[in-house]
A = this chain, B = another copy of it.
Amino acid sequence: MPKTTFTTVAHAPANLETTVTSRDMSFTLDEPTDLGGTNKGMNPVEALLGALGACKCIVVRSFAAAQGIKLNDVKIECSGVLDPDGFMGKNPEAKIGFSEIHTRFHIDADNTREELVAFLEFVESHCPVQDTLSNPATSSFELA
Contact = CB atoms under 8 A, between A and B. Distances in A.
Contacts of A6: 43, 45-46, 49, 79-80, 82
Interface residues of A, number: 104
A118 to B, nearest CB: 10
Instruction: List the 10 shortest-distance A-B pairs measured between CB atoms, nearest first.
Output: A10-B53, A97-B131, A20-B50, A97-B132, A44-B55, A96-B131, A12-B57, A22-B46, A8-B49, A47-B51
A137 B47 contact: no
Interface string A104-144: 11110000010011001000111111111111111111111
Contacts of A139: 101-103, 130, 133-134
Contacts of A48: 48, 51-52, 55, 129, 132
Number of copies: 2
Interface of A: 1-13, 15-16, 18, 20-23, 25, 27, 29, 31, 36-37, 41-62, 73-90, 95-107, 113, 116-117, 120, 124-144
Contacts of A43: 6, 58
Contacts of A10: 50, 52-54, 56-57, 75-78
A87 B44 contact: no
Given A6-B79, A8-B42, A131-B97, A31 B51 contact: no
